[in-house]
C-alpha cells in the first residue's frame, strides 16, 4: 500500500495519555480534549494523525 500526501500547512498528532491521580479527568476525556483542540486549530490543508 502507498499514499500520496500533498502539501500541508500544519501537522497535528495526538499524544498518548493515561489516567493519573494528579489530574481529575479520565484518560478518555484527555483524549477527547486533544482531538477537539486539533479540530479547532486545523484548516482544510492540515494533516491530523490519530
Residue 5 exposure: Cα atoms within 13 Å on the Cβ side: 10
pLDDT score at 40: 97
Query: Mean pLDDT of all residues in the chain?
Result: 88
pLDDT score at 23: 74
- At 18 the three-state DSSP class reads coil
pLDDT digits (tens, 9 = 90+) for 18-38: 766 777 888 888 889 999 999
Q: Does residue 3 form part of some domain? A: no
Of 50, 47, 49, nearest in space to 10 by CA: 47
**Please, are residues 10 and 43 in contact by the beta-carbon 8 Å criterion?**
yes
Q: Does residue 6 form part of some domain? A: no
- What's the whole-number mean pLDDT along residues 5-27? 83
Q: Does residue 37 form part of some domain? A: yes
**Domain around 26:** 11-49
Q: Does residue 4 form part of some domain? A: no
Length of the chain: 50
**Total number of domains constituting the chain:** 1
* Dihedral angle sign, alpha carbons of residues 9, 3, 30, 18: negative
Rounded Cα distance between 16 and 14, Å, is 7
Q: Does residue 16 form part of some domain? A: yes
Amino acid at each position: 500500500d502507498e499514499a500520496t500526501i500533498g502539501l500541508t500547512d500544519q501537522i497535528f498528532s495526538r499524544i498518548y495519555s493515561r489516567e493519573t491521580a494528579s489530574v481529575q479527568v479520565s484518560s478518555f476525556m484527555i483524549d477527547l480534549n486533544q482531538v477537539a483542540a486539533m479540530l479547532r486549530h486545523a484548516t482544510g490543508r492540515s494533516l491530523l494523525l490519530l
